[in-house]
Structure 1
């Protein structure tokens, strides 16, 4: 298959016309973000079963016609592990190019492990071992070699083939529609919005802080996110999470106190030390934002463990009925999340909810009950 390398604006109309004639296309992106906060968009690969193109966004300043074609809601966009790719589209256009089909999300319904890598799918479906020669390529460098372009194009060429096989197998099993709500969630803009005021929620260890310490952590995380965005630097280049936790605990009030903290970056102390101390002092005077229930440490009692055991038995039964590994349907940790009412529990969404989550909720609420015989566990409406 001849690769169309699109690096001039006058080449876009033909590609857009090709896209508009397809019911679906496969997409992938190449980007770098090791030295920046925002990913630097370096290459867009697009393919159908009959053609493939690599578009150079570093050479074409205005990709509006291409985005108009890709955002056609009648064209399914096929990606693998799509969150970072969709983040790029969202940052450029403020929208998500739905509808989406993510092969990583779909794969467990065909017996694969949770979140399988792309190389695993290529090997399993196509019996091809991916070439890793350009895994560490600097995609900002131009010109790209023929090998680099072929390497990038192969990803979407293989993705087309995998998607076709997946759809056939899922349809044969009657599972293709199970994924609709999972894929619909990918169109939620909140997944791709970078909100400084919520940056603290991603820091592990926050639930072990006192109220004053938590207030400081929240303030420092918001400042770090705003600064990283403004300077387009990786947030950890400013201060890593463990250092912000340390600052929240030690609460330095002067730059000299700040400089004495072990492993702190001297250059950052000189540049940001004064504002950090001011922020810490101000945060000490106000109450923190409350932790969500899911961020609190849940201490399981023996009764909790017994309930999780019972719910796990139901999961095993439903998984066996559908020829799935029980771990794909729900891990013990995810069942625990359901028990403690965590909203982001996978059992509350998509096909997992339909297969088991709804029943488990019914058992926990008392609307359903279990009955046992010698070799049968049955779920019945409570009397």
Structure 2
């Protein structure tokens, strides 16, 4: 397995121009994510069928030639289980690989589980056993060992023949267009930028708070997200989620009370006074500006039976199509549809996954009658 390590801009320009002259390129990324909000990019692998490039973002300050490959709509970008890769591209490049095909999604249409790994598919379809011993390596450390480089190169070297086999089988089964739709759906979800004003909705047990308390939580959660983005620090390393909730729920307005509630010492020293000031400011929010109470689907009449009925329908469709039930309708997607029907009044501009794309003809007539309260 031959590969080139790309550390110079001129070299990157050459391999990227070559990649833009072929119909399909294989892509993968290696990154580290421990205390940071965003993944720290350590390596990018690209294989155009002839040249396998290991692109070093630690050495390269300018990756614009690679981002041009991502944006080139004449070149299909193939990845495997790429949800986190998409997050990397969205953060570093501000673009998504378009068009994109995910071989894990292709495999799902052929009956494999939603989380089927690359190594398992390579073993099944290519008869090759991959060494996954370097999966947890520090990809931002330098130098990378020969074993690490071989591991990284294998991820795109074997992706090409795997993609070719899966693509042929997908076309034979008539799922080609559906694969494209599912990949576009994934990119649309991964390409969203979080709204600080809605960050409080992701706080566990926020539903327990009254509107006045939600106004406090909204302000604190918005600040925490912005602070995490500014410092590139994981949210809970700014301030723990539970502690934001405690400030709102128990009307904590002093450092002493924070200490009593087991706030971390570093949180108190760095952010305690700021949290109190923001909470006091939020206390003066006019009632007309309070957030709406958070409605929970599980508290609504008929929730359990409706979920069961919808699940029965998605299971039947999955059996008919020969795919795993979660691929037709996951728990999250069923909840998305119930929220659309019961809370958002069937907004036609925000159609749920189960009533859109390839799923629509299989499910629309079966599940719409079940959504009536």
Which position in structure 2 is the counterpart of 1:373?
Answer: none
Aligned partners of 2:31 and 2:42 also within 8 Å: yes
The 3-state SS of whatever aligns with 1:44 is: strand
8 Å CA contact retained: 1:27, 1:156: yes
- Kept in 1, the 8 Å contact 2:313–2:367? The answer is no
Counterpart of 1:39?
Answer: 39
**Structure 2 counterpart of 1:321:** 320
Q: Which runs of 5+ in 2 are unaligned?
A: 342-349
Alpha-carbon separation, structure 2, partners of 1:99 and 1:144: 31
**1:350 maps to which of 335, 357, 367:** 357
Shift of 1:345: 4.5
Q: State the match for 2:110 in structure 1.
A: 110
Q: Which residue of structure 1 aligns with residue 132 of structure 2?
A: 132
Candidates 284, 288, 292, aligned match of 2:290: 288
The answer (yes or no) to whether the contact 1:38–1:232 under 8 Å persists in 2 is yes
Q: CA deviation at 1:307?
A: 5.1
Structure 1 residue aligned with 2:337: 338
Deviation (angstroms), 1:329: 1.9
Distance change in 2, residues 1:299/1:101 (3 Å): same
Kindly indicate whether the alpha-carbon contact (under 8 Å) linking 2:96 and 2:187 is maintained by their aligned counterparts in 1.
yes
Contact 1:87 1:192 in 2 (8 A): no
Please state if 1:179 is matched with 2:179.
Answer: yes
TM-score, normalised relative to structure 1: 0.85
The aligned residue for residue 254 of structure 1 is 254
3-state SS of paired residue (1:298): helix
Equivalent residue number for residue 298 of structure 1 = 298
Query: Which is worse superposed, 18-27 or 197-206?
Result: 197-206
Taking the aligned partners of 1:78 and 1:240, their CA distance within structure 2 comes to 37
Write out per-residue CA displacement over residues 106-132 of structure 1, whole angstroms, 9 at most, x where no aligned residue: 322111122333333333333444323
- Could you list the per-position Cα deviations for residues 64-85 of structure 1 after superposition, in whole angstroms to 9, with x for gaps in the alignment? 2232233211111111222322
Instruction: Measure how far apart 1:42 and its partner are.
Output: 1.4
1:133 CA drift (Å): 2.0
Q: CA deviation at 1:315?
A: 3.4
The alpha-carbon distance between structure 1 residues 272 and 344, as it changes in their structure 2 partners (threshold 3 A), is: farther
Structure 1: segments with no counterpart, 5+ residues: 367-383
Number of positions where the alignment pairs a residue of Structure 1 with one of Structure 2 = 361
Q: For residues 138 and 200 of structure 2, what CA distance do their matches in structure 1 show?
A: 31
Paired with 2:34 and 2:215, the residues of 1 have a C-alpha distance of 30
2:233 aligned with 1:233:
yes
Secondary structure of 1:94's counterpart equals: coil
- In the alignment, what sits opposite 2:344? none
Structure 1 position 270 matched with structure 2 position 269: yes
The RMSD of aligned alpha carbons is: 2.6
1:365 is displaced (CA, Å) by 7.4
The answer (yes or no) to whether the contact 1:105–1:115 under 8 Å persists in 2 is no
Q: Give the corresponding residue for 2:347.
A: none
Kindly report structure 1 stretches of 4+ aligned residues shifted beyond 6 Å: none
CA contact (8 A) 2:23 2:74 kept: yes
* Partner Cα separation in structure 1 for residue 327 and residue 93 of structure 2: 34
Residues 338, 345 of structure 1: 8 Å contact kept: yes
**Residue in structure 2 matched with residue 68 of structure 1 by the alignment:** 68
Residue 152, structure 1, aligned to residue 159, structure 2: no
Does the residue aligned with 1:27 lie in a helix, a strand or coil? strand
How far, CA to CA, are the matches of 1:86 and 1:145 in structure 2? 26
**Contact 2:315–2:325 under 8 Å retained in 1:** yes
**Post-superposition shift, 1:245?**
1.8
Determine if contact 2:109/2:179 at 8 Å carries over to the other structure: no
Structure 1 counterpart SS, 2:30: strand
What's the CA shift for 1:226? 1.2
Alignment of 1:1-150 (within 5 A): 1-150=1-150
Go from structure 1 to structure 2 and tell me whether the alpha carbon gap of 1:204 and 1:69 turns closer, same or farther (over 3 Å shift). Answer: same
